[in-house]
Amino acid sequence: MRRRKRRNDVTPTMFPFLAVLICTMGALIALLVIGVQQARVHANHLVDQRSEEQLAKQEDLRRQQIQLEDYQWEKEVLIANREEKEEQLRQSRLKLANVETHINELYDKVRLLKARRDALQNRDTLDEDDTTQEQLDALRKEIESATAALKALQDGQSKRKDTFAILPYKGLNGTIHRPIYLECTSEGVVFQPEGVLLPLADLQGPLGPGNPLDAGLRTIREFYDKHAGFQDDFKPYPLIVVRPDGVESYGRAMAAIKSWKDEFGYELIDADVNLTYGNPQPLLATEIQTSLRRAKERQKTLIAAMPSRFGSKSGFSNHSGSRGSTQSTSADPTARPQYPGERSPGANRGANSGRASSGNGQQDSETHIAGGGGNGGASSMSGTGQSRKPGWALPDGEVPRTGVHRPVHVVCEIDKLTIVPGRGEQIKPLVTKINDTVYDNIDEFITSLHTYMDTWGLSVVGGQWKPELSVEIKPGGGARFRELRTVLQGSGVEVQVRR
C-alpha cells in the first residue's frame, strides 16, 4: 500500500507580527505622551518667565512713577520755599531801609539840635559885624575858586578826550530800570556820578546785610524813589563798571551785594576809556557819605561785640568818602589784604605745625604725627599752628541745620589727594598736590571739595550738606591719610577708610 506523501508547506504566522506592531505603536505612543508633557512643562515655564518679567517691568514703572512724583513734589516744595524766602528777604530789606531812614532822621534831628544849642550859647558873644565880614570873605573865596575852575574847564576843553556813556538798552531784550553806577578800581568802589569812594579796606569787614556798599545802594534807591517815584517794576539796579585794576574790588563788591540776587549788571571797561555818568547830585552825595559812615560805625560795633567771629581787627580805613585820598592799612602794598575771620592758606607754612580742633570749639592737646614721607622719611605736625573754628571746612560753617550726609570718594596717594566724582556726575576729578604735609595744602583741598559740593545742588529744605570722605589709601599714602584725618578733626567733614 502506497503511503500518502505529506506536504511540507511553510505558512506565515500572524501573531508575532501583530505583537511587534502593537509593541512598537505602544512605545511610540509613550514617547509621544512624554514629548507632549515636556512641551507643556516648557510652555508653562516660558509663560511664567514672561509673566515675571512683565511684573518686574510693571514694578519698575510703578517705582519710577513714584520717584517722579516725589521729585515733582520736592520741586514744588523747593519753589514755594524759594518764593517764600525771596519775599522774606524783600520784606527784611524794606524793614532795614525803614530803620536806616529813621536813624538818618534821628541823626539830622540831633545835628539840628546841636546847631541850635551852639547858636544859643554863642549869641551873646558873637559880633554881628565880624560875622558879616567873615561871610563876605567866604563868598569872595567861593567866587574866586569858581572863576578859577571855570577858567580851567575852558582851557582844558580843547584838550579833552572823547568820552563815552553807558546807557541802558530799552529794546526787546533790554531793561527799563535805571542803573546805579559802581566803578571798581584799585582804590575801591566809586559811586558815580557823585564820585563818592568806598575804599577797598571798608569792604573787608562783615559783608552781611547792612554792610557799607549795601547801605549806600539802598540810600540811592530811596533817594530816587523819593524824588522820581519809581514803581516796583522800575526800581534802579546796580551796574558795576570794572576797570582792569579793579578785579579785587569787583570780587568784594559782588560779595557785598549778594542779597540783591540777580538784580545787577556789569561792564568791563579798559583803563584808557573815559566815561561820563551824567551830572552829580550834591544832596545825594551827602546822603551816601552819611550812610557809608554810619554803616561802618555799625560794623565796627559788631566786630567789637563778636571778635571771635570777625577777628580783632576791623579792617576799616580812616577815609570817610572822597575819592583820591585813601589811606593804606597794610605795611606791604603788594600784599593781599587779610579779611576778618578769613583763613590764610599759607599762614602756617614753614613751621610744619598744626593744631587739631575738637568738635566743641576748644583746642585739643598737641598732636604729633609721624608718617612716611616721599622716600619713607618722617614728617610731623605739631600744635603750634593757628586754631580754626568748629565746622570751618563746611561752605556755610557750622550752622544749626539738619545735616545731610553724602560720601565723597577720595584717593590718597603719597604726593596728592584726588576727589573722584561718582558715576554719572559731569565733573572731572579734582587733584590737590601735596608739597610737604597735608596741613600745608589743606585749604586748597577744601576749596576743591567746595567746588565738588557746588555740583550737588540744594539739600533738603532747611538742611545742610555734610560730606563724608571715603578715603581709598594707595601704597605709601598711609601717613597722608593720618595727617588728613587729624587736620580735619572738628572741621565738620568726617574722614573714614573706604571699604
Query: 161-198 pLDDT, tens per residue?
Result: 666 777 665 655 556 677 888 999 999 999 988 899 99
Instruction: Determine the Cα–Cα distance for residues 333 and 117; give it in Å rounded to an integer.
Output: 46
Mean pLDDT of 242-251: 89
Domain match, 289 and 384 both: no
Pairing status of strand 416-420 against strand 163-164:
unpaired
Higher per-residue confidence, 306 vs 495: 495
Domain match, 169 and 111 both: no
pLDDT of residue 401: 63
Domain match, 431 and 302 both: no
In a domain, 433, yes or no: yes
Instruction: Determine the Cα–Cα distance for residues 375 and 479; give it in Å rounded to an integer.
Output: 12
In a domain, 422, yes or no: yes
Query: 107-129 pLDDT, tens per residue?
Result: 888 888 888 887 777 765 555 55
pLDDT higher than 90, residue 19? no
Domain match, 301 and 177 both: yes
Residue 419's domain comprises 371-497
Domain match, 61 and 168 both: no
Domain match, 391 and 470 both: yes
In a domain, 3, yes or no: no
Counting the structural domains of the chain, the total is 3
Cell of 389: 573754628
From 118, 143, 177, give the residue that closes a domain: 118
pLDDT higher than 90, residue 103? no
pLDDT higher than 90, residue 200? no
* 445 closest CA partner among 410, 478, 470: 410
pLDDT of residue 390: 84
Domain match, 193 and 286 both: yes
In a domain, 27, yes or no: no
In a domain, 293, yes or no: yes
In a domain, 291, yes or no: yes
Distance set, CA 175 to CA 8, 182, 238 (Å):
130, 18, 13
In a domain, 295, yes or no: yes
In a domain, 156, yes or no: no
Distance set, CA 449 to CA 36, 72, 439, 462 (Å):
67, 29, 15, 21
From 65, 92, 118, give the residue that closes a domain: 118
Domain match, 170 and 52 both: no
* Max Cα distance, the chain (Å): 205
445 confidence band (pLDDT: 50, 70, 90): very high
Higher per-residue confidence, 331 vs 159: 159
Domain match, 83 and 175 both: no
pTM beyond 0.75, yes or no: no
pLDDT of residue 351: 33
From 291, 310, 329, give the residue that closes a domain: 310
Query: 353-378 pLDDT, tens per residue?
Result: 333 333 333 333 333 333 333 333 33
Domain match, 452 and 375 both: yes
410 confidence band (pLDDT: 50, 70, 90): very high
Query: Is the Cβ–Cβ distance between 435 and 441 less than 8 Å?
Result: yes
pLDDT of residue 135: 79
Angle, vertex CA 51, rays to CA 50 and CA 53, nearest 5: 65
Mean pLDDT of 389-418: 83
Domain match, 173 and 286 both: yes
